[in-house]
Structure 1
Amino acid sequence: MNWEQLLSLKRFGDTNKRIRKEQDETRLGFEVDYDRIIFSSEFRSLQDKTQVIPLSKTDFVHTRLTHSLEVSVVGRSLGRKVGQKLIEKHPHLKNIHGYKANDFGAIVAAAALAHDIGNPPFGHSGEKAIGEFFKNGEGKAFQKQLTPKEYQDLCDFEGNANGFKILTESKAGRYGGLRLSYATLGAFMKYPKESLPKKPTNHIADKKYGVFQSEKEIFADVVNELGLLQRSQNDFSYSRHPLTYLVEAADDICYTIIDFEDGINLGLIQEEFALEYLSKIIRNTIRPENYYALSTKKDRVGYLRALAIGTLINEAVEIFMSNEEAILSGKFDCALLDKSTYEAQIRDIIKISVEKVYQSKDVVEKEIAGYRVLSDLLKVFTTAINNTHDNKASNYDKLIMHLLPENFKAINSSLYIRLLSVCSFVSNMSDSYAIMLFNKIRGINIG
């Protein structure tokens, strides 16, 4: 792979090639990507989607929206720092093509901003709840009517693939989705493969999948424009865009450190754990007198968090540059932080967060409720849309169809598209809206 192709400014539907040197410096193409994501309705719904603590009423806890904004900020720093080093190493990128360090930062920031845009309500348990409906619930009845790959898309419903769908899917008044640059779409594609075969190798790009069968055509267009390497001649799988590693690192840094911080601020983890574990990462930068001068737990933990994030950003940049050739050739097979000198400390922090936060009684109880909410919504809407397609709709089905937005009413489409449309509709809901709709449909709350 080469950087000239990887930094493509092309957008869905373009007929003329966009040249970096011809860009208006006051509103660069890659910066437009960020703006379009910010103003999308799908991004706004993240303000009421669970990050870790579902439906929290405190102001300490992060939602998907605040998490995405923070990942984007960290991603911008990573991109700019790497961009500066890449331009020093490959001066033709600036001298001939006009690229600047901030272009790399803008691409990573936009892709990082969108990285969770396809995630269902109720955190990662939302993905599992949708998959469970088709694997072991009433949706299993559809298996024989679908291809293996179509069925796998539903059984392992993936927020990354749904995110690509949101960013690229044409709708009424929105041709080509958000029409992001292909460079940003490439950086967004964390797992550039389809759902089958499942985990064919231990390569990080094979951990999950990133495209539904419904978006394969636009996906192929993007990977061809960017020159991503096909990893298997027999499978629809490709090497990652190099900047994807920076998007992933930004996410890894934020959820490792900030979920830990949330747990401490909520009282689920003792403050002493922050000093013990984070100080091992920031041992060269921490000033004890500054730490003890802060009067509140929140401020003290925030001080440690800021130093830890800064340390991990700088290390991720060095790891990326040390492995640039392997990354460009598709041979770098793990996340950047897997090569971190602080890997053991990161693993310890995540272990504590899992035990004290992710598996806390409050989180588990609300995830269980999320399973019931999503399962019931899927049952009601898949039944209504399929009965409508088969001209067997009851009066109840007709009423339910009034609740389905026009852009999700794939009544005259294949079974796969109908089912996927319902999954996308449910996935795009906020936590509160999903609960409200669930209660109304069950007649619990009709006010």
Structure 2
Amino acid sequence: MNWEQLLSLKRFGDTHKRIRKEQDETRLGFEVDYDRVIFSAAFRSLQDKTQVIPLSKTDFVHTRLTHSLEVSVVGRSLGRIAGKKILERHPYLSEVHGYRFNDFGAIVAAAALAHDIGNPPFGHSGEKAIGEYFKTGKGQQFKDVLTQKEYQDIVDFEGNANGYKLLTETRKGVEGGLRLSYATLGAFMKYPKESLPKKPTKHIADKKFGFFQQDVVSFRELAEELGLESRGKGEDVGFCRHPLTFLVEAADDICYTIIDFEDGINLGLISEDYALEYLIKLVKDSINIKKYNELIYMEDRLSYLRALAINTLISDAIAIFIENEDAILKGEFSVSLMEKSKFKAQIEDILKLSVQKIYQSQEVLEKEIAGYKIISDILDVYTTALIREKEGNSSNYDRLMISTLPESYRETSASVYSILLNTCCYVASLSDSTAVHIHNKIMGRQL
């Protein structure tokens, strides 16, 4: 893989190549990507989607939206620092093509901003709840009418694949979705493969999948333009990661490691003594003890340590990325950047405590259980109504339910796979509160 192709400014539908030197420096194409994501309806819905604590009533706990904004900020720093070093190594990118280090920061920031845009309500349990409906619930009945890969798309419903669909899907009058640059879409794609075979290797790119069957053709076009190396065998579709994906992933890893931990402290799920002990281990080489001891309030001490910890991990991630640039460009780097971190032991200690005290806390578990029921019931009502309508035997209740869907989700002339996938994507688009509201209506609890 080569940087000139990987930094493509092309967008779906373009009939000519976009040249970096011809860009308007006041608003670069990669910066337009960021703007398009942030003004999208799908991004706005993240303000009421769970990051860690579902339906939290406190004002200092992160939602998917605040998490995504913070990941984009960290991603921008990672991209800019890496970009400066890459241009030093490959000066032709600047001298011949006109690329600047800010371009790398803008690509990573936009991809990081969008990284959770396809995630369902109720956190990662939302993904599992959608899949379980088709794997062990009433949705099992559709297995025999779908191909293996189509069925795998929905039993392993993946927020990353839904994100790619949201960003690129053509709708009536809207060609190519948000029409982001290919570079940003490539950096967004953490798992550039289809749903089967499942985890064919231990390579990080094979951990999950990144696009549904209906998006195979569009992703192939994207991968060809970017020059991504194929990793698929036979008819299976899979590619090497875009190198900047490793920076997007690192930004996410850094933020959820440190900031989920901070949420746990603010909620009182983790004691301050524990927290300070764990964070100080991470920043012991950069902490100013005098400054730290002058901080009177816990939130100020915590804020100081958080900033130091994030800065420490950014520097570490950059060092790993640059050291392994050749292997990354060849598709031979098979783990996340933070897996190679010299702070791996400290990171694992923090994550272990977060799992024990936050992710498995009673509040989180109870609301995840409620989320399973809510998502299953909503899916059941809408899939039943839409499939019955397709088969010509819908009831008045079915037609009433279909009328409550946004118009783009009411289509029943498509294949069973398309109907089921679109319904899953509709449920995934709901915010936590909207899902609860719809469920109350379905159950007759609210008029």
**Normalised-by-shorter TM-score class:** over 0.9
* Aligned partner of residue 370 in structure 1, secondary structure: helix
* Aligned partner of residue 269 in structure 2, secondary structure: coil
CA distance in 1, matches of 2:404, 2:64: 25
* Aligned partner of residue 116 in structure 1, secondary structure: coil
Q: Does residue 1:325 correspond to 2:326, yes or no?
A: yes
- State the match for 1:351 in structure 2: 352
Letter in 2 for 1:278: L
With 403-412 and 287-296 compared, the bigger mean Cα shift is at: 287-296
- State the match for 1:444 in structure 2: 445
**Gapped regions of structure 2 (runs ≥ 5):** none
CA distance in 1, matches of 2:193, 2:156: 13
* Aligned partner of residue 202 in structure 1, secondary structure: coil
* Aligned partner of residue 209 in structure 1, secondary structure: coil
After TM superposition, list the pairs within 5 Å mapping 1:175-214 onto structure 2. Answer: 175-214=175-214
Letter in 2 for 1:185: L
CA distance in 2, matches of 1:123, 1:292: 37
- State the match for 2:156 in structure 1: 156
CA distance in 1, matches of 2:230, 2:359: 36
Letter in 1 for 2:384: T
- State the match for 1:396 in structure 2: 397
- State the match for 1:416 in structure 2: 417
Provide Cα deviations, 1:338-364, integer angstroms capped at 9, x if missing partner.
Answer: 000000110010000000000000000
After TM superposition, list the pairs within 5 Å mapping 1:334-349 onto structure 2. Answer: 334-349=335-350
- State the match for 1:239 in structure 2: 240
With 226-235 and 199-208 compared, the bigger mean Cα shift is at: 226-235
- TM-score between both structures, scaled by the size of structure 1: 0.99
Letter in 1 for 2:149: K
Cα deviation for residue 254 of structure 1 reads: 0.1
Cα deviation for residue 294 of structure 1 reads: 1.9
CA distance in 2, matches of 1:57, 1:400: 30
Provide Cα deviations, 1:213-236, integer angstroms capped at 9, x if missing partner.
Answer: 011111111000000000133221
Cα deviation for residue 289 of structure 1 reads: 2.2
CA distance in 1, matches of 2:99, 2:204: 29
- State the match for 1:111 in structure 2: 111
With 336-345 and 400-409 compared, the bigger mean Cα shift is at: 400-409
Letter in 2 for 1:150: E
* Aligned partner of residue 191 in structure 1, secondary structure: coil
CA distance in 1, matches of 2:115, 2:329: 22
Cα deviation for residue 147 of structure 1 reads: 0.2
Q: How many residues align?
A: 446
**Gapped regions of structure 1 (runs ≥ 5):** none
* Aligned partner of residue 58 in structure 1, secondary structure: coil
After TM superposition, list the pairs within 5 Å mapping 1:426-445 onto structure 2. Answer: 426-445=427-446
Q: Contact between 1:410 and 1:421, CA under 8 Å: does it hold in 2?
A: no
After TM superposition, list the pairs within 5 Å mapping 1:220-239 onto structure 2. Answer: 220-234=220-234, 235-239=236-240
CA distance in 2, matches of 1:133, 1:295: 50
After TM superposition, list the pairs within 5 Å mapping 1:31-46 onto structure 2. Answer: 31-46=31-46
- State the match for 1:271 in structure 2: 272
Cα deviation for residue 292 of structure 1 reads: 2.4
- State the match for 2:6 in structure 1: 6
With 183-192 and 289-298 compared, the bigger mean Cα shift is at: 289-298
CA distance in 2, matches of 1:114, 1:174: 19
After TM superposition, list the pairs within 5 Å mapping 1:168-179 onto structure 2. Answer: 168-179=168-179
Cα deviation for residue 330 of structure 1 reads: 0.2
What is the identity percentage for the equivalent residue pairs of Structure 1 and Structure 2? 66
Cα deviation for residue 118 of structure 1 reads: 0.2
> Over aligned residue pairs, what C-alpha RMSD do you find?
0.7
- State the match for 1:259 in structure 2: 260
- State the match for 2:89 in structure 1: 89
Cα deviation for residue 173 of structure 1 reads: 3.2
- State the match for 2:67 in structure 1: 67
Q: Contact between 1:33 and 1:180, CA under 8 Å: does it hold in 2?
A: yes
- State the match for 1:138 in structure 2: 138
Letter in 1 for 2:207: K
Provide Cα deviations, 1:291-347, integer angstroms capped at 9, x if missing partner.
Answer: 222222122111100000000001100100000000000000000000000001100
- State the match for 1:50 in structure 2: 50
CA distance in 2, matches of 1:277, 1:238: 38
* Aligned partner of residue 419 in structure 1, secondary structure: helix
Cα deviation for residue 156 of structure 1 reads: 0.2
- State the match for 2:165 in structure 1: 165
Cα deviation for residue 109 of structure 1 reads: 0.1
Cα deviation for residue 54 of structure 1 reads: 0.6
Letter in 2 for 1:316: A
Letter in 2 for 1:158: E
CA distance in 2, matches of 1:290, 1:127: 44
- TM-score between both structures, scaled by the size of structure 2: 0.99
Q: Contact between 1:265 and 1:297, CA under 8 Å: does it hold in 2?
A: no
Cα deviation for residue 172 of structure 1 reads: 2.7
Letter in 2 for 1:244: T
Cα deviation for residue 391 of structure 1 reads: 1.1
Letter in 1 for 2:211: V
Cα deviation for residue 410 of structure 1 reads: 2.5
With 277-286 and 38-47 compared, the bigger mean Cα shift is at: 277-286
- State the match for 1:219 in structure 2: 219
Q: Contact between 1:121 and 1:429, CA under 8 Å: does it hold in 2?
A: yes
Letter in 2 for 1:245: F
